[in-house]
Amino acid sequence: MTSQFKFNPVPGGQFIEKWGVKEGAVWGNIYYVNAPEEIRLHGHLGMQGAVNSSYTYRLIEKDGGTLLQLSHNASGIIQDHWEQEHSEGWKYLLGTLLKNYVEKKNL
């Protein structure tokens, strides 16, 4: 299954995944933007069942570079290995995929 993600970084914007003409999911809604330092979202973030997540991304200048700080909290019916699985997923998404993308763009 091939999917596309769209992220509209304005208050009221959405983080959406589409994998068909009428198929997809709203992963989160943007409720706070203080560009370019901080953005906050809430939504299910791809989680199943009665769960809601709140997550914040902050850009912090540090040692001549930029640090991306993530805060992710969830409430509801949480699966046993939620924290471990999401920690690994965030490390891969941000620490590998995003890092590689940003470094290639800066070459």
Q: What is the pLDDT of residue 107?
A: 63
User: Which amino acid is located at 36 in the chain?
Assistant: P
Burial class (CB in 10 A: 0-12, 13-18, 19+), 27: buried
Domain at 4-80, CATH from 3.40.1350.10, 3.40.50.300, 3.40.50.261, 3.30.530.20: 3.30.530.20
* pLDDT given at position 48: 75
Domain ranges across the chain: 4-80
At residue 99, the pLDDT reads 87
Q: Give pLDDT tens digits along the chain (107 positions).
A: 688 999 999 999 999 999 988 999 899 999 999 999 999 999 988 777 788 899 999 999 999 888 899 999 988 888 888 888 888 988 998 899 888 888 887 76
